[in-house]
Chains A and B, each alone.
Chain A
């Protein structure tokens, strides 16, 4: 005998949703238009864990929040680098504390929207700052490497070459022509 399943997708989704919410201990309300209202004081961590659970069932949470986290990450990194306060700090910890989301979440979000990683963006911003500082000529490479949180002068030089295609000396010659 052959069996066939009759599936009500809407009911399936709402059941998955209901069970996830009950398991997470979160109140919710299904509105007439099919949108779901979650408590306003729901923490970012909780929202993150719920969306992780639902993701396995192919359900994505869409918010009407206008917050552009990717832009916030970019602005924050630029501010940190330009304020010159990054020696011995972990950018992952800083971003996570500042924005209230776990670093893996921010990192995935950033990569999916910008096609580059937070780490790479952080290097690019620091190299931009290095370009400014070497042109000013009042700081030694050691000073620049130290303050921009490169582990050493050779590390700074390697990253500079990787990003710009030029050594710092070549860059200076080129800019001063």
Chain B
């Protein structure tokens, strides 16, 4: 049995409580050894990440449209923080606008996931991202692979 330490630490930042619940249910449904922490906006995300380096997760799922501090601002703040500059950030948004995809790519996000329309697709995309060979992906990082396609 894997210990608590082996769990992949995931941070979800999304202001929509219902969407966070669907995400948590989908993550539970794919039965991977993960530990999910949820926050409701960019400000609370930065406060959490800056309060203790031990809080640094393995992967962040970041919504874009949020009050107080949105996903773009939060992404910038993450990349401007020395110990977080290499943190894996997956944008998780309902927007499929080209300018949003472009902007998050330029600001240093690692992958862009459009919130899927079906629950099974949501599970599939989460599985794909969580199990992704990030080392390989980052070495061979191409802009055309930025938007995750199921």
CB-CB nearest in chain A for B22: A146
Known contacts A146-B122, A152-B18, A152-B21; is A140 also within 8 Å of B29 by CB? yes
Q: Does B124 contact A (CB under 8 A)?
A: no
Chain B residues with CB below 8 A from A143, complex form: 25, 29, 119-120
CB-CB nearest in chain A for B117: A87
Q: Which of B21, B115, B118 lies in contact with A142, CB distance below 8 A?
A: B21
Q: Does B94 contact A (CB under 8 A)?
A: yes
Extra 13 A-B pairs, beta carbons < 8 Å, given A142-B21, A147-B117: A86-B117, A87-B116, A87-B117, A87-B118, A88-B94, A142-B29, A143-B119, A146-B119, A146-B122, A147-B119, A152-B17, A152-B18, A152-B22
Pick 16 A–B contacts, CB within 8 A, sort by A. Answer: A85-B117, A88-B115, A88-B117, A142-B21, A142-B22, A142-B25, A142-B26, A143-B25, A143-B29, A143-B120, A146-B25, A146-B118, A146-B119, A147-B117, A152-B21, A152-B22
CB-CB nearest in chain A for B25: A142
**Which residues of A, 122-159, contact B by the 8 Å Cβ criterion?**
139-140, 142-143, 145-147, 151-153, 155
Which label, helix, strand, loop or mixed, suits the secondary structure of the B interface?
helix
**Which residues of B, 98-141, contact A by the 8 Å Cβ criterion?**
115-120, 122
| B interface residues, how many (CB within 8 angstroms) | 15
| A interface residues, how many (CB within 8 angstroms) | 16
Chain B residues with CB below 8 A from A85, complex form: 117
Q: Does A100 contact B (CB under 8 A)?
A: no
CB-CB nearest in chain A for B118: A147
Q: Does A165 contact B (CB under 8 A)?
A: no
B112 to chain A, nearest CB (A): 16
Known contacts A151-B18, A152-B18; is A140 also within 8 Å of B118 by CB? no
Chain B residues with CB below 8 A from A142, complex form: 21-22, 25-26, 29, 119
Chain B residues with CB below 8 A from A87, complex form: 116-118
A124 and B117 CA atoms in complex are apart in Å by: 21
A167 and B66 CA atoms in complex are apart in Å by: 34
Query: Beta-carbon contacts of B65-96 to A below 8 Å, as 1s and 0s?
Result: 00000000000000000000000000000100
CB-CB nearest in chain B for A84: B118
